[in-house]
Amino acid sequence: MSSTLYAAASTLAGPPAVVTNELNYVLNILAWLVTAAGVCGLLIVGSRMAISLRSGEGDEHLSQFAVVMGACIIGATAGPIVGFVL
């Protein structure tokens, strides 16, 4: 009877540590890629804003900036949420 209880408890305990370590590695790589994409996006929007302001056009760069910042916020909060769930 105790071996059956032990088997059930070990099954319900959760995923093995190897799967969690591999998942953490992938999440860390994705977090760095999201950070790099956010920085590149802000640099691109900033350079486009500077070029258009220099040429005398001042249209919707603030909305592009808001989209990039929103994507950065979503990317920054996705990792901790997944970490909390696991």
Question: Rounded mean pLDDT of 12-22?
Answer: 62
- The tokens for 10 are 């070990």
Residue 80 has pLDDT above 80, yes or no: no
H-state helical runs in the chain: 2-12, 17-55, 61-85
Domain ranges of the chain: 16-85
pLDDT at 24 over 70: yes
User: CB 12: neighbour CB atoms within 10 A?
Assistant: 7
Residues in the chain: 86
Whole-number pLDDT of residue 17? 56
The pLDDT tens digits for 46-58 are: 888 888 887 777 6
Task: Provide the pLDDT confidence category of residue 81 given band limits of 50, 70 and 90.
Answer: confident
Tell me what pLDDT residue 2 has. Answer: 59
**Residue 29: how many other CB atoms lie within 10 Å:** 10
